[in-house]
Structure 1
Amino acid sequence: MSHEKELARTLTYRKEERMDLLRAMPLSERSAVFEEFSPYVQQAVIKELKDHELVDMLDNMDMRHAEGVLARVQEVKRRARIVRRLKGEIKEKTEYFLRFHPQATLSLINFNYLFLSSTLTIGEAADIIDEHYDETGKYPELLVHEDGVLIGEVQFSALVRERNRSLLKRYVKPVTTIPYHTEVPKIIETIVSSKAKKLVVLDRDESVLGLMYADTVRPLFGNLPAESLYDFAGVDDSERPFDSVSTKVHNRYRWLILNLATCFMAGFVVLLFQETLDALTILSIYIPIVAGMGGNAATQSFAIMVRGITLGTISLQTAAPAILRELFAGAINGVIIGSIVALISLVWNGSALLGLAVGLTLVCAHMVAAVAGTAVPLIMKQLGKDPAATSTIFITTVTDVLGLLFLFGFATIILL
């Protein structure tokens, strides 16, 4: 039994003196002893340690053990405080994984693997696996390297079928890898394109950091953007560049018909104000400006909401503060853009009242766009629909129809 294991065993049964004895140890020894405690004792020690003591200990651990300690810090606010105070590599990687999802931390990465030399025999590998199982109670993934460079993995089935004297390198299979700093959409794209059940996460120096399982990633990040990309464009996800003309038409015409219906709604608004438009033909110049600015403003809010939905940081039930902030931001942006357009209208058309009507229209259009871009994807998600695929047509309808109503309405009230 190692010195650290002996100390851990002794301190386990000396509860009254445990913390004093731990604090009296050098930092490296304290960290090593802590790693030998049972999960129950580790939990008790974590509760007793002050934040700065826990930070010092984490900075002295490798990534595997640091992940385990952070996972046992049950209070979310305390965990965030500790992460902010970490230093060096552990801080960088922990903050990176916290960006993925508020519940992720480092638990997204699995450290249950062995990094075995390709020159080992199956018999030698089996002995190492047995030791790992005795220590952790889990059978590991088997990654294989040549001179420290990952070359693939070996399935457990190979260990069972083949002779003990056979070399591991004969049974190596390719494995999908990603750098640890890969962004979320790229991770999901890699899983989809490779159909891999797991990814090996590599550090900056190409060394293995850990494993990421597809079954863990999918529920954490929601719908896959590769699917949404096709839906967003109004095409079927099975359509390919060299499909036949009939296939392309079949996959797209219903989406285009739905778009056509919404265009007629905007046209109906113009028809309602035909007399206003006949009297003020100059308004036709501002129709594309109002529609374009409203659509662009809605797209900005929409992109932020879809990202939040994908990462699980917002839902319809918790969205009220976000919608309110988007509304205020839309109002301020509307005042800025509306003032610019009103000034241009005054100089170009020589009419302050026309500038006022267009300016007020853009303020209201930006507010509507902000609310629509925020609320519609949340509603679609609540209804069980893909927000990226189904929201845009409704957002465009709202911004176009109400934008035209504001333009013609203010023009009628102010100028006629």
Structure 2
Amino acid sequence: MIAFRTPAAGVALRALDVRPADADGLIYAPALSFPRHATAQQVIDTLRHVRPDASSSSYLFVTGEAGRLIGALSLHQLVVAAPDVRVEQLMSPSLITLPEDLPAEEQAHILSNSGLDALPVVDAYGRLVGARDAGDLLDAVEEEATEDMYRLAGVHKDEEVSRPLGLAARDRVFWLIINLGTAFLAASVVSSFQSVIAQAAVLAAFMPVVAGQGGNAGTQTLTFIVRSLALGDLRFANARQILLRELAIGLCNGVCIGLLVGLLGWLWKGIPALGVVVGVAMLGNLILASLAGVIVPLALKALRIDPALASSIFVTTVTDVCGFFFFLSLGMLALQMGYL
């Protein structure tokens, strides 16, 4: 905090300097603040002693009791005002503020909707702690988006071309081992249908198709949900609405892809029942993929775990295990009925 004193009035006026980095590693921009009883002339006299880069915006902030933020005014308002007018008479009390504990993505969303270049940041008691500049927030959001993308793929957030080979391999192998465990879970499901596959080996050719499409659909939903959570578009309050939306998309895509793959399976192998089995299994797996793509990141969010960190593993596990189970169960049923 930088303090200035106007000799004539003996009033201390303050300029909030750069704050330490917050939880996101983003440093607050400087913000000039003045007590409500200060006059326009006192503020102007004080500003003459402030270094040119002491504020990131053309707005000045007004504080009340205990340093709580109560309003803001522009430099233009200050310059054209009468010298003895108090800043509380010039300020606008209608403020859009950013809580200091709000994630950078959500702060960027609020700042973008405000149409302003910067917004004040307040603590839990409403006290001014700094300002968020649009340029700084954009850099932070871009960095966070890259980090989320890396996490979805099981890659360390600091991964770069110049990163040591040993560190890169160590960080990646952990998630590969986790994926290996889930792959064995899917393999155990397939193993329980060995007799079915032995009697109708043609089913084996379509297993990767059903599981792969389910994984792709789940990744599509998951990417959208993780981004919506990061930007604050998805909250627990509107989760049901978005879940129904994604299920509707999964149903539409499931019908479309199911009909297409069923027709191709029929024409390829010349077995109508095979086309039905593949098509219905594809429909069920794509609907389930949409469900998992929404439920999994929301569940991790509720457990205070970054949804981008482990969601893809769980979603892929669901689509693989359930996709194989749907497909092979329907194949067994068709086999028992004599259609395969």
Query: Aligned in 2, Cα 1:261/1:133: closer, same or farther, shift over 3 Å?
Result: farther
Distance 1:132 1:367 in 2: 66
2:287 is the alignment partner of 1:367? yes
1:10-409, aligned counterparts within 5 Å? 131=40, 154-155=53-54, 210-211=117-118, 213-214=131-132, 224-409=144-329
Distance verdict in 2 for CA 1:215–1:251, change over 3 Å = farther
Distance 2:42 2:298 in 1: 45
Aligned partner letter, 1:343: L
Q: Distance in 1 between matches of 2:196 and 2:185?
A: 18
Counterpart of 2:117 in 1: which secondary structure? strand
Rounded to whole Å, the distance in 2 between the matches of 1:258 and 1:395 is 13
TM-score norm. by structure 2 comes to: 0.59
User: What secondary structure is seen at the aligned counterpart in 1 of 2:155?
Assistant: coil
Q: Provide the alpha-carbon RMSD of the alignment.
A: 3.7
Q: In structure 2, how many angstroms separate the alpha carbons of the residues matched to 1:359 and 1:132?
A: 77
8 Å CA contact 1:338–1:358 kept in 2: the answer is: yes
Paired AA for residue 384 in structure 1? R
When you count helix as a share of all residues, which structure comes out higher?
A: 1
* Superposition deviation, residue 134 in structure 1: 5.0
CA distance in 2, matches of 1:272, 1:347: 29
How far does residue 262 in structure 1 lie from its aligned partner after superposition?
0.6
* DSSP-derived class of the 1:227 partner: helix
Corresponding residue for 1:28?
A: none
Q: Which has the higher contact order (CA 8 A, sep 6+)?
A: 2
Q: Which moved more, 1:356-365 or 1:383-392?
A: 383-392
Aligned-pair identity (%) = 35
Distance 1:341 1:280 in 2: 18
Q: Partner amino acid for 2:274?
A: L
Alpha-carbon separation, structure 1, partners of 2:329 and 2:203: 11
Alpha-carbon spacing, 1:243–1:307, altered in 2? closer, same or farther (3 Å): closer
Alignment correspondent of 1:23:
none
Q: What is the rounded CA distance, in whole Å, between the counterparts of 2:41 and 2:197 in structure 1? A: 79
Deviation for aligned residue 1:279: 1.2
Counterpart CA distance in 2 for 1:341 and 1:154 is: 63
Aligned-partner SS, 1:319: helix
Cα displacement (A) at 1:365: 0.4
Report the Cα distance in structure 2 between the residues aligned to 1:283 and 1:139, rounded to whole angstroms. 78
The answer on whether the counterparts of 1:376 and 1:395 sit within 8 Å (CA) in structure 2 is yes
**Unpaired segments ≥5 residues, structure 1:** 1-109, 114-129, 144-152, 157-187, 192-198, 204-208
Runs of 4+ residues deviating >6 angstroms: 220-223
CA contact (8 A) 1:221 1:312 kept: no
Return the structure number with greater strand share: 2
* Cα shift at 1:250: 2.3
